[in-house]
Structure 1
Amino acid sequence: MKLAPTIRTYIENHMREHGFKLQQFSDITGVNVGTLSASLKGSRPMAVSQLDQITAGMGLEKGYFYEMYSVEFFIEAAPHWRRLKPFLHRCAEFNKLACIQKVVIQVTDDRSYISELFEMAEEFNKNGLSEAALILYECVAEGEKYQHSERLALCQYRIFLLHKTIKQFDNLSAAIKFEPYIEKLDEEIQLDAIKDLANVYNTIHHWDKVDKLADALERKVDFQLELQSRRRKNIKRVAFYPIFTYKAYANLLKASVCEARKEFEKALEYTDIYAKVVEVSNPTEEEQILIDRFKGWAEGNRYLYRLSSGKHEVIEYYLDYLESNPHEILIAFVNIVQSANQHLLNIDFALDRFDSYITDFNTERHLEGTYNQQMLNHRYIRFYYELAKYRLHQQKYMMGIEALLTSLELASSSRDDLMSIKLIDLYGKFRSQATIEQEELYTGLITNRSIENYI
């Protein structure tokens, strides 16, 4: 059986092919000649920093030998943390994720490295090396799956957040998997965890679940606020935001549930609550930013709930508010057009006033992958769906079907089955009004996106 080549044989072959003596190769790579000689003889393990110097001296890409290095030094030989730590760092920097996966699966068999791997995952996560951090968190969680530790719960929380950030996010399964670990987290971190979990259920419209989580969040916040009032003021905060803002957010969630249930008066009551909660004395700069944010949300949502309940006279005030808060325009127009469809309003003046912003929606859409992008995608899908219904009701068929096809393209690429079904059903009702080009585009979407089963 032919033996697999080693890093050492690659180096020796390279030196032989180029006619390099040991001293010459040492000068080229910058590796001490004695160290180089010992590494080639196998009497001294090669450090990853030296391997990088040799790789550069041979004119090869960074990390060229990492796959072989991981086998030779961490799989075929007993791993040592002093050598493993810098190797994992280099792999993360050079995006050699397969090497990280292979090595950590091997070393987590020995639970003595669990603590070090967790600390490294935290470091990677902090420094934006998200994919490398996710691999480590998942391996640590697997290594501790029979433990009931806070570290395991924190691992599961980090995995939950990272999946939202860097992977196509299966909202429901991720939420279900993470939820049992919340109570094991630090009590302040639980505030962030419940907020993040509620946001996921909010996105997939599990309103009963959002309501329960909002109640749980408010209970835990009240306990923390009581605890905070009895503590020394210089104790470091663990939660990401000032504690009082979580109480405001709990009521913001409750308002969103009432909105979904069309209980607009009740939604206004919760809006008044969270606007009052953030009225704190002597706020810090951080607190003032958040106070202004909640006050802004309260103002916009009051217009929204009044408009949705049929008080159409507020629309001009709502549009003036949006002029000063352009980041709210997309979600606001989802609701404005939806309200127009429900109450048979003519909102052409509003669409004309914000035409330049709406035109920009076409350049910003087609976002895929991460949780935040999926949320934004869902808003685009809903906007174009509502706009299609609005234009079709006006008998502006070409404009309506164009908006419908835009929504369908986004829904199918985002794997939003529910919206795809709604859009296909709507198209079926107005298919006879489509142009030849629109019919061809529709057929292409159905065929290329594999959504013909919805018909």
Structure 2
Amino acid sequence: MEQSAAIRCLRFEIHEQMKKYDYSLTKLSKLTGIHLGYLSETLNRRPPRPISINLLDTLAEAFHQPPGWLYELYPGECFPDEKVSRPRMIPFLMRCAELGRFELIASTASKLLENPKNIQILFYVAEQLFEKGQESESAHFYRLVVENERDSFHDRFTISQYRLFRASLGTNAEENKEAAVRFELYYNRLTEDFQLDALLQITNVYYTLENWKKVEKHADELRELAGKVYEDQLRKRFSTKPFEPLKTERHLVVYYGQGFLMKGIALTMQEQYEEAKKFVLEYSDLGWFEFLDEVGKKEVEKFRLYGKANLYNLELKRGNASILSEYVNFLEKNPSQLLPSILNIMESANRHNFPIDSVLERFCKQLPPSCSASIPVFETQLLYFWREKAIYNLKNGRRSCGIKDLLTALYLAEKMQYSSGLRKMILLMLYEVDSTNEQQEIQKVLEEMRSENKLYPPFSTI
């Protein structure tokens, strides 16, 4: 009874608009381009032909109504005889998401989930929105799946967890950490395709947090899984069965190489230089890798450059400053390696007390502005660079430059909501600052951050 009332009410509103504008069915057909017979069957036949969401949108435009007109009455069209109509339900939910009608999605989903099997419709809508690039809209449906799926090992549950994890990642370091911790319960339940992508993202999160043990753990998993998938792909290639390519975001060689790369970085940051070198050499030469199309060959070349830069870095970490001139020439020819490389140069200079003023003079102006970076890994590298540069200037008696560099690092830590990094910046400032003017300058910055929640613009110190 309630459903048929909703259907009558929906058509009643349409007829009222036709009266208001004095539209006959013939005139409405001409205005909308909808076949007259189709309109008649939809509005006048008993029982009527169901209304599609596209037709309702077209009628709304003809009646000069806003997008989403009468959507609150439309669910009655989606549940004929108390059964769900997928051809009408799915477009309706997608349009609701596109228009931000989440309260209507919630009420419709509640009725939809009276039959638990209908959770597959919510997952399908989520995936369709995701494929269209509407990630924030899809997240609403992935949450519904996670909250209502009874089987936590089902593919749609684990994929939904993965999509939500990816949607949670941004420039806020603490939120990224929380997202990674939540998702670590589920990533090993994913199919191998998704698991490769997931491990790469988790490893990157812990890299930005300087949690080298976690980076090492997940890099090992990534390397092992990529190797297994590679061997499986080789076997399938020569099998009589149809060969299906991987459905990953990146070329397989990326996951394999990144497993070695991240392992090498984690070992380097734990001062295990000899062990790290073994991994650097592994990803420096991946030309043997099968399945290398043009994209794969470009990725192999990137790893070759990473390896070259990181071999220089390992020498600098040991205190071998004699290779600095050669390293600088390498960076001149390969500016794509500049940011991580100059960070390593700064760290090594501070640890082993060798001068790099000429290097800073040569390259600092080529670094991205502190306010422009939006990729977490790049922001993290910039933060560490300005921190190390501040230490370098302070150690060499350039207090004014050092304090300004610290403020730039503080700005980045605040921008990233990186609480542990923020504490380190403030503690370093309190330790280094002694003059009244410097104290007043920093106090002003901290007061602005606290009272106005306003990011302090970085100083130009180059």
Equivalent of residue 361 in structure 1, options 369, 389, 399: 369
CA distance in 1, matches of 2:63, 2:434: 64
Equivalent of residue 326 in structure 2, options 307, 310, 317: 317
Counterpart contact for 2:387–2:425, Cα < 8 Å = yes
CA distance in 2, matches of 1:396, 1:355: 17
Counterpart contact for 2:135–2:167, Cα < 8 Å = yes
Equivalent of residue 224 in structure 1, options 224, 229, 244: 229
CA RMSD of aligned residues (A): 3.5
CA distance in 2, matches of 1:385, 1:248: 29
Aligned to 1:402: 404
Equivalent of residue 160 in structure 2, options 152, 155, 160: 155
Counterpart contact for 1:189–1:238, Cα < 8 Å = no
Q: Give the AA of the match of 1:203.
A: T
Query: What are the superposed Cα offsets for residues 111-161 of structure 1, whole Å, 9 maximum, x if unpaired?
Result: 332334333333322221212322222322333233532333233223322
Aligned to 1:440: 444
Q: Give the AA of the match of 2:404.
A: E
Describe the shift of the 1:108–1:200 C-alpha distance in structure 2 as closer, same or farther (beyond 3 A): farther
Describe the shift of the 1:407–1:60 C-alpha distance in structure 2 as closer, same or farther (beyond 3 A): farther
Aligned to 2:259: 250
- Point out where structure 1 has 5 or more consecutive residues left out of the alignment: 368-372
State the 1:19 CA deviation. 5.0
State the 1:297 CA deviation. 0.8
State the 1:298 CA deviation. 0.4
Q: Give the AA of the match of 2:132.
A: N
- Point out where structure 2 has 5 or more consecutive residues left out of the alignment: 456-462
Matched length: 441
Does the alignment pair 1:200 with 2:205?
yes
Q: Give the AA of the match of 1:108.
A: L
Q: Give the AA of the match of 1:353.
A: R
CA distance in 1, matches of 2:90, 2:247: 29
State the 1:293 CA deviation. 1.4
Length-normalised TM-score, structure 2: 0.82
SS in 1 for 2:349: helix
Does the alignment pair 1:415 with 2:420?
no
Counterpart contact for 2:253–2:296, Cα < 8 Å = no
State the 1:331 CA deviation. 2.4
Does the alignment pair 1:349 with 2:352?
no
Q: Give the AA of the match of 1:295.
A: R
CA distance in 1, matches of 2:85, 2:449: 54
Describe the shift of the 1:389–1:60 C-alpha distance in structure 2 as closer, same or farther (beyond 3 A): farther
Aligned to 1:378: 380
Counterpart contact for 1:70–1:99, Cα < 8 Å = no
Counterpart contact for 1:341–1:390, Cα < 8 Å = yes
Counterpart contact for 1:121–1:136, Cα < 8 Å = yes
Counterpart contact for 1:247–1:277, Cα < 8 Å = no
Aligned to 1:128: 133
After TM superposition, the structure 1 = structure 2 runs for residues 252-271 of structure 1, keeping only pairs within 5 Å, are: 252-271=261-280
Describe the shift of the 1:188–1:436 C-alpha distance in structure 2 as closer, same or farther (beyond 3 A): closer
Equivalent of residue 243 in structure 2, options 217, 235, 248: 235
Q: Give the AA of the match of 2:258.
A: Y
Describe the shift of the 1:397–1:84 C-alpha distance in structure 2 as closer, same or farther (beyond 3 A): same
Describe the shift of the 1:65–1:336 C-alpha distance in structure 2 as closer, same or farther (beyond 3 A): farther
Query: What are the superposed Cα offsets for residues 335-381 of structure 1, whole Å, 9 maximum, x if unpaired?
Result: 222222222333221121123313x424524x4xxxxx333332232
Percent identity between matched residues is 26
After TM superposition, the structure 1 = structure 2 runs for residues 129-144 of structure 1, keeping only pairs within 5 Å, are: 129-144=134-149
Counterpart contact for 1:75–1:103, Cα < 8 Å = no
CA distance in 2, matches of 1:361, 1:450: 18
CA distance in 2, matches of 1:244, 1:388: 38
State the 1:25 CA deviation. 4.6
CA distance in 2, matches of 1:394, 1:320: 25
Describe the shift of the 1:345–1:167 C-alpha distance in structure 2 as closer, same or farther (beyond 3 A): closer
Counterpart contact for 2:433–2:439, Cα < 8 Å = no
Q: Give the AA of the match of 1:279.
A: W
Q: Which moved more, 1:415-424 or 1:221-230?
A: 221-230
CA distance in 1, matches of 2:443, 2:139: 44
Describe the shift of the 1:217–1:419 C-alpha distance in structure 2 as closer, same or farther (beyond 3 A): closer
Q: Give the AA of the match of 2:369.
A: F
State the 1:8 CA deviation. 5.2
CA distance in 1, matches of 2:41, 2:172: 44
SS in 1 for 2:66: coil
After TM superposition, the structure 1 = structure 2 runs for residues 13-412 of structure 1, keeping only pairs within 5 Å, are: 14-15=17-18, 17-18=20-21, 20=23, 23-31=26-34, 44=48, 45-66=50-71, 68-69=72-73, 72-73=76-77, 79-94=84-99, 96-164=101-169, 170-233=175-238, 235-238=243-246, 240=248, 241-243=250-252, 245-280=254-289, 283-358=292-367, 360-362=368-370, 364-365=372-373, 367=374, 373-412=375-414
State the 1:330 CA deviation. 2.3
Q: Which moved more, 1:422-431 or 1:108-117?
A: 108-117
Describe the shift of the 1:60–1:445 C-alpha distance in structure 2 as closer, same or farther (beyond 3 A): same
SS in 2 for 1:434: helix
Equivalent of residue 449 in structure 1, options 449, 453, 456: 453
Describe the shift of the 1:400–1:245 C-alpha distance in structure 2 as closer, same or farther (beyond 3 A): closer
Length-normalised TM-score, structure 1: 0.83
Query: What are the superposed Cα offsets for residues 380-413 of structure 1, whole Å, 9 maximum, x if unpaired?
Result: 3222222222233333333322222222223223
State the 1:27 CA deviation. 4.1
Describe the shift of the 1:355–1:380 C-alpha distance in structure 2 as closer, same or farther (beyond 3 A): closer
CA distance in 2, matches of 1:442, 1:296: 41
Q: Which moved more, 1:405-414 or 1:220-229?
A: 220-229
